[in-house]
């Protein structure tokens, strides 16, 4: 788990969007999504439900 992964996760929850998170950190949406997937893989469970807008 990295500090950046935690920042991306917390910001995504606050903003309800990977795209908005990516804009805040001057990166791409796939980068944010990938880092959160790596975090979920390390923890062993899904942190966000991605099939709704905003993220749940």
Quote the pLDDT of residue 49: 84
Query: Is residue 35 assigned to a domain?
Result: yes
Q: Examine residue 55 and state whether it is found in any structural domain, yes or no.
A: no
Asked whether residue 37 is domain-assigned, the answer is: yes
Per-residue pLDDT, 50: 81
**Which H or E run contains 8?**
helix 3-15
Taking 70 as the threshold, does the pLDDT of residue 56 lie above it? no
pLDDT at position 19 over 80 = yes
In terms of pTM, does the model score above 0.75?
yes
Is 16 inside any structural domain?
Answer: yes
Q: 24: domain range?
A: 3-43
* Residue at 52 is within a domain: no
Residue 49 in domain:
no
| Overall domain count for the chain | 1
Short-list 20, 14, 16, 13, CA closest to 39: 13
N- to C-terminal Cα separation, the chain: 21
């Amino acid at each position: 788990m990295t500090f950046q992964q935690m920042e991306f996760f917390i910001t995504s929850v606050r903003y309800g969007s990977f795209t908005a998170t990516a804009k805040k950190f001057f990166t791409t949406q796939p980068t944010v999504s990938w880092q959160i997937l790596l975090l979920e893989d390390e923890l062993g469970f899904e942190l966000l439900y991605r099939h709704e807008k905003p993220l749940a």
